[in-house]
Amino acid sequence: MTVNPYKIAYQREKKARLEAEQLLEDKARSLYITNQELIDSNKELKKHQAIMLRNEKLATIGTLSAGIAHEINNPLAFISSNLEMLNTYWASCTDLFSELQRLIQSGAFSDDIILHLNTLIERYDMVFIHEDTPELLADTVDGLVRVKEIVQNLRSFARSQPTDYIEADINQGIQNTLKILNSQIIDARVSIRLDLQPISSVMCNSGEINQVLLSLIVNATQAMEESPTKKLTISSRGNAEQVEIILSDTGCGIPQDKIDDIFSPFFTTKDVDKGTGMGLSIAHSIIGGHGGEIDVTSKQGQGTTFTIKLPTMVNSQPREVKNT
Ligand SMILES: Nc1ncnc2c1ncn2[C@@H]1O[C@H](COP(=O)(O)OP(=O)(O)OP(=O)(O)O)[C@@H](O)[C@H]1O
Ligand SMILES: [Mg+2]
């Protein structure tokens, strides 16, 4: 039988073409996968870069805060003690004035003196001063208490307090914090869903971690004030090295152009009597001090999720900040 050389050549060419096509397809696929991996690592890189920038910015503000807190603390101390003295002086003045008024009314003085005293009382508006000063002093004390709170918050942000680490059960911390906030949560009609997995205990300052949880739960409750669905899901999970706590609310969400600001001290969208804007910056500082991370994702009008990652063992001691 004669072999058709054209057929052989055709089959050889077809086989080579199929192999080339297969090779091309394999290359294209591997190129696509590599490209996809590159896009993913680029995203990851950008995310870490943003976190690093934020951490750096907050560390700088932390140093600045410690300085400001220290500077304000000194005048605050003498304003406070002066105010206390003024209150005592005022109590003496007010006693004297009441006694003077009693004497005027008792007829102990001559008409001339009474007229003169009454003219002076009127000229210096003493009756009004007598009534108004206690209120002024009380308002000043309130203002001072508020300034002291702000300075205290600044100091916490700068983590100037020494921290005591113990082995703590974070799930228990979540339950305890919810107990503290129970009536607030009921009043706000927020339903809580807990999904707490068994997790390793964490070496931490449990008081500080509970403070972070409290801040986040209060924020979530406030964010859901106007929401038709008010649901806060708190989950925990982890392994031997790390514990993750996730708080997800159905609140108003955070606009994208504000999300980078929420960890900055004094950033707030709340009324003066509702927030100072220190909660999240202190939370960030506490978690950072424990060698952990706190991150946020949010969709405006849908809700916000905060994720805290904490190492179970202390591999990085809280960063040193000089005592103010
Ligand atoms: N769960 C949340 N949902 C929507 N917005 C939030 C949420 N948590 C925080 N925010 C936004 O971040 C801002 C800063 O929060 P942060 O806790 O630092 O301060 P604050 O709650 O305003 O005041 P403070 O905590 O000092 O009482 C809030 O004013 C709010 O705009
Ligand atoms: Mg807050």
Convert the pLDDT of each residue in 213-242 to its tens digit.
999 999 999 999 999 999 999 999 999 999
Which amino acid residue places its CA nearest to atom 1 of ligand 1?
Answer: 220
CB of 247 shorter than 6 A to ligand 1: no
> What pLDDT score does 322 carry?
36
Atom of ligand 1 nearest to the CA of 220: 1
CA-closest candidate to residue 196, choices 167, 166, 165, 169: 169
- pLDDT level of residue 324 (50, 70, 90 thresholds): very low
**Tokens 């500077």 label which residue?**
71
Average pLDDT over residues 246-261: 96
Which amino acid residue places its CA nearest to atom 9 of ligand 1?
Answer: 219
Average pLDDT over residues 138-160: 84
- Per-residue pLDDT for 161 more than 70? no
H, E, C per residue of 261-274? CCCCCCCCCCCCCC
Convert the pLDDT of each residue in 108-123 to its tens digit.
899 999 999 999 999 9
Convert the pLDDT of each residue in 58-80 to its tens digit.
878 877 888 888 889 889 999 99
Coil, strand or helix at 40: helix
Question: What spacing in Å lies between the alpha carbon of 324 and ligand 1's midpoint?
Answer: 27
Q: Which range is least confidently modeled, 2-11, 55-64, 163-172, 259-268?
A: 55-64
Pairing relationship of beta strands 231-238 and 191-196 according to DSSP bridges: parallel
- Cα(159)–Cα(284) distance, rounded to whole angstroms? 11
What are the Cα distances from residue 179, in Å, to 217, 255, 280? 12, 31, 21
Coil, strand or helix at 53: helix
- Per-residue pLDDT for 263 more than 90? yes
Average pLDDT over residues 16-29: 94
CB of 67 shorter than 6 A to ligand 1: no
CB of 204 shorter than 6 A to ligand 1: no
Convert the pLDDT of each residue in 302-316 to its tens digit.
999 999 999 998 764
> What pLDDT score does 317 carry?
47
- Per-residue pLDDT for 272 more than 90? no
Fold of 164-311: Heat Shock Protein 90 (3.30.565)
Handedness of CA 311, 315, 318, 321 (dihedral sign): negative
Question: What spacing in Å lies between the alpha carbon of 110 and ligand 1's midpoint?
Answer: 66
- Per-residue pLDDT for 163 more than 80? no
> What pLDDT score does 160 carry?
46
Atom of ligand 1 nearest to the CA of 280: 18
- pLDDT level of residue 162 (50, 70, 90 thresholds): low
Residue from 270, 271, 278, 295 to probe ligand 1 pocket by mutation (most atoms less than 8 Å from CB)? 270
Q: Which range is least confidently modeled, 6-20, 61-75, 123-137, 294-308?
A: 61-75
Query: What would the DSSP string read from start to end of 68-135?
Result: HHHHHHHHHHHHHHHHHHHHHHHHHHHHHHHHHHHHHHHT-S-HHHHHHHHHHHHHTTHHHHHHHHHH
Average pLDDT over residues 149-171: 78
Decide if 199 contacts 171 (C-beta within 8 A): yes
